[in-house]
Structure 1
Amino acid sequence: MRNATVTVSLALMVAALPALAQDFRFTGTATTGDGTVIYEERHAVDGTCEDGVFRPQQHEVAYLKPDAEESFARKALAYDATVLRPTVDFVQPMFDEKMEITYPKAETLVINWQTPRGDSERFQVAYPPSTVVDSGFDNFVRQNWQSVVAGDPVEFRFLGPTRGEHYGFVMEQVENERVNADHVVQIRPTGVVLRFLVDPIVLGYDDSGALSDYLGLTNIRKNLDENYTAHIRYAVETSPDCELTL
């Protein structure tokens, strides 16, 4: 009887322990089509291991020009309610651009955008649970990892923050000669009109579920009217002590 009591007590103690803090660090190098380096992304993700799977909580990104020590743009994300829709605080001082995405109430998000031309835009957007925001796409891929491995398409909504609207997209397995990865998928619009306006984004992942490649439009400005399209190759520096995928 005493052994049973000790076993139960130990189980209760383990259950009461907080999830251990974990770090996930990786760096991305963005290049043009001819291989010229445009900038570097330095990602620092703090989170916990929950049921053997990493759950991000805070995510900081610093953007640096080649050989520079100071960042020219920064982004901070917080995954409070869900890993698919983080709050976003993005600043690009070179163009006087700022963007914030917050969630003041259930199923409603607010976008405050200071544009490069000095205007201010504010959008209040109602969204369904299938909506993905900003780098939530990375967590979306990992949450649907079995579909990625099996090659099954998955539909979702993706926020276009500068338009104040979300759109239908599909994630599907593809082959791409520029992306050499264990798993290659693309996310593309499902709407007929948007397909002609928005090119697919191609993503590469290794077998652990870590992002290795991003090929497509970035959030870094080339000039006042357009953003860079780049191939970003990622290298993991520190991995959490648990799985990245479900």
Structure 2
Amino acid sequence: MRHTTVTVSLALLATALPAVAQDFRFTGTATTGDGSVIYEERHAVDGTCEDGVFRPQQHEVAYHKPDTEESFARKTLEYEASVLRPAVDFSQPTFDENMEITYPEPETLVINWQTPRGDSERFEVDYTPNTVVDSGFDNFVRQNWQSVVARESVEFRFLGPTRGEHYGFVLERVESDRVDADHVVQIRPTGMVVRFLVDPIVLGYNNSGALSDYLGLTNIRKNQDENYTAHIRYSVGTYPDCELTP
């Protein structure tokens, strides 16, 4: 009886303990097709360990040109409501561009975009539970890790913020001669029209569930009319003290 009492007491104590704050730090180097370095991303993710799995809460990204300490663009993501749909604040002062994505009410998001040409765009978008926003794709992959390992496809919606709409996409395993990783997947549009406009994004992950490669269109501008397409290779500086995948 005494052993049972101690076991129950420990279980209650574990339930009462707050989630432990954790850090996840990684860096990405973006290169062109010929290997020239365009910029570096420095990621700092603060979160907690919940049921043995890391849950991000706040994510800061600083973008740096080669050999410079001053950032030329920044992004903040808040995952308070959902790890798939963060609130986003992105600023690229070189082009006078700023974008904010907020969630003023359930199942509705608002995009406020200051464009590089000086115009202001505002979109109010209704979304479904399987809609993914911005870097939420990384958490979406980890949430569906068992499907990734089993080579199963997963359909979802992905927000196109500059168009003020979300579109059908699929996450699926793929072979790539450009990405060398433990697990290689792509996210590609499923709609016929969007498939002609948007190329698939190829992603590499290591066995721990950390992003190792991103190959596709980025959010960093090459000029007023187009963004860079790049291969971003990531290295982890600090892992949290719990698993990245369920």
- CA displacement at 1:2 relative to structure 2: 5.7
Query: Structure 2 length normalisation: TM-score?
Result: 0.98
The root-mean-square deviation of aligned C-alpha atoms, in Å, is 1.0
Superposition map of 1:54-133 within 5 A: 54-133=54-133
User: TM-score with structure 1 length normalisation?
Assistant: 0.98
Secondary structure in 1 matching 2:231: strand
Rounded Cα–Cα distance in structure 1 between residues aligned with 2:119 and 2:55:
36
Q: State the match for 1:16 in structure 2.
A: 16
Task: Provide Cα deviations, 1:61-114, integer angstroms capped at 9, x if missing partner.
Answer: 000000001100000001011100000000000000000000010000000000
The secondary structure found in structure 1 opposite 2:137 is helix
**Number of residues of Structure 1 aligned to a counterpart in Structure 2:** 246
Hey, what does 2:146 align to over in structure 1?
A: 146
Deviations 1:30-75 (A, max 9, x none): 0000000000000000001111111000000000000001100000
Structure 1 moving runs of 4+ over 3 Å: 1-10
Separation in 1 of the partners of 2:13 and 2:51?
Answer: 16
State how far apart, in whole Å, the 2-side matches of 1:4 and 1:203 are. 48
Partner of 1:210: 210
Q: Which amino acid aligns with 1:229?
A: T
SS at match of 1:59: strand
Secondary structure (helix, strand or coil) at the match of 1:9 reads helix
In structure 1, C-alpha distance between the alignment counterparts of 2:26 and 2:90, rounded to whole Å: 19
In structure 1, stretches of 5+ residues that fail to align are none
Following superposition, the deviation at residue 8 of structure 1 comes to 3.3
Who is 2:165 aligned against?
Answer: 165
Mapped partners of 1:53, 1:28: distance in 2: 23
Identity %: 84
Deviation at 1:125, TM superposition (A): 0.1
Match of 2:231 in 1: 231
State how far apart, in whole Å, the 2-side matches of 1:178 and 1:10 are. 50
Map of 1:48 onto structure 2: 48
Where does residue 26 of structure 2 map in the other structure?
26
Q: For the residues of structure 2 that align with 1:196 and 1:3, how far apart are their CA atoms?
A: 65
Q: Aligned with 1:45: secondary structure?
A: strand
Counterparts of 1:68 and 1:87 in 2: how far apart (Å)? 28
1:198 correspondence with 2:198: yes
Output one character per residue of 1:141-191: Cα deviation in whole Å (capped at 9) or x when no partner.
Answer: 000011111111110000000000000001111111010001100101000
CA distance in 1, matches of 2:11, 2:184: 42
Aligned CA distance change for structure 1 residues 224 and 49 (closer, same or farther; 3 Å): same
C-alpha distance after superposition, 1:118-145 (max 9, x if no partner): 0000000000001000000000000001
